[in-house]
């Protein structure tokens, strides 16, 4: 499961790949349609799609001469379950935490 989470989060780390996933929420898309809004080569988009496919976030299939991309709806389930485990904690007040550190560690620049 750790490897799957690592691949999912690595794939999600890139803004282009997150945008592609958002686009695929609407419907399946041909690779050329996925590439259209981006100012990069089709080869670069194909690399992004390869990362998303390897992470299991999308699937690709050939229909006739056209390669189609489809969002895999259950792909983020493990990541979502993992992240929900952190919901049990109160949000951290970073200003209060910084004041605490400054009071406890006065000799350092916090």
Q: Does the structure show a pLDDT above 50 at 79?
A: yes
Spatial distance between the Cα atoms of 9 and 83, rounded to a whole number of angstroms? 11
Is residue 110 assigned to a domain?
no
Identify the domain containing residue 28 by its residue range. 2-104
Is residue 15 assigned to a domain?
yes
Q: Does the structure show a pLDDT above 70 at 89?
A: no
pLDDT score for 110: 47
Starting from the edge strand earliest in sequence, which strands make up the sheet with 29-30, in order? 29-30, 66-71, 58-63
What pTM did the predictor assign? 0.75
State how many domains the chain has. 1
Domain CATH number, residue 42: 1.10.10.10
Greater pLDDT, 107 or 60? 60
Spatial distance between the Cα atoms of 81 and 90, rounded to a whole number of angstroms? 18
């Amino acid at each position: 499961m750790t490897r799957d989470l690592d691949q999912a989060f690595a794939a999600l780390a890139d803004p282009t790949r997150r945008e592609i996933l958002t686009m695929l929420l609407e419907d399946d898309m041909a690779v050329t349609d996925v590439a259209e809004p981006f100012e990069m080569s089709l080869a670069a988009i194909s690399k992004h799609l390869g990362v998303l496919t390897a992470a299991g976030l999308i699937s690709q299939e050939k229909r006739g001469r056209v390669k189609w991309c489809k969002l895999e709806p259950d792909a983020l389930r493990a990541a979502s379950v993992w992240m929900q485990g952190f919901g049990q904690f109160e949000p951290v007040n970073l200003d209060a935490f910084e004041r605490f550190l400054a009071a406890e560690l006065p000799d350092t620049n916090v």
